[in-house]
């Protein structure tokens, strides 16, 4: 149970950092940051492998890069729809 909570915290922080890097707000607040952190971790791990230190089950470097990619894609799609 504690590892799940730790994963939620790390995922949320990764999502928030990725949003700050791009200067974009992640919709959904904290829940949105957690979702972007989880999806970004999956995308980054698929693209780069497990790169960097692992905290809370997330390889930090590849997860952060993946989260940035996810937010960039989301921003692009929202801009095109508006």
pTM for the model stands at 0.86
- Predicted confidence band at 27 (pLDDT cuts at 50, 70, 90)? confident
pLDDT for res 68: 93
Q: 50 in helix, strand or coil?
A: coil
pLDDT at 6 over 90: no
pLDDT at 82 over 80: no
**How many CA atoms are closer than 13 Å to the CA of 39, on its beta-carbon side?**
17
pLDDT for res 65: 92
pLDDT for res 20: 92
Domain count, the chain: 1
- Mean pLDDT calculated for residue range 73-81: 87
Task: Find tokens 């993946």 and name the residue.
Answer: 66
Range of the domain at 56: 1-80
Do the bridges between strand 58-59 and strand 54-55 make them parallel or antiparallel, or are there none, so unpaired?
A: antiparallel
For the chain, how long is the longest CA-to-CA vector? 41
- Mean pLDDT calculated for residue range 64-79: 89
């Amino acid at each position: 149970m504690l590892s799940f909570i730790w994963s939620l915290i790390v995922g949320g922080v990764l999502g928030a950092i990725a949003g700050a890097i791009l200067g974009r707000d992640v919709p959904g607040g904290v829940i949105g940051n957690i979702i972007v952190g989880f999806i970004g971790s999956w995308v980054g791990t698929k693209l780069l492998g497990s790169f960097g230190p692992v905290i809370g089950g997330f390889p930090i470097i590849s997860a952060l890069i993946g989260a940035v990619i996810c937010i960039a894609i989301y921003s692009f799609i929202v801009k095109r729809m508006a």
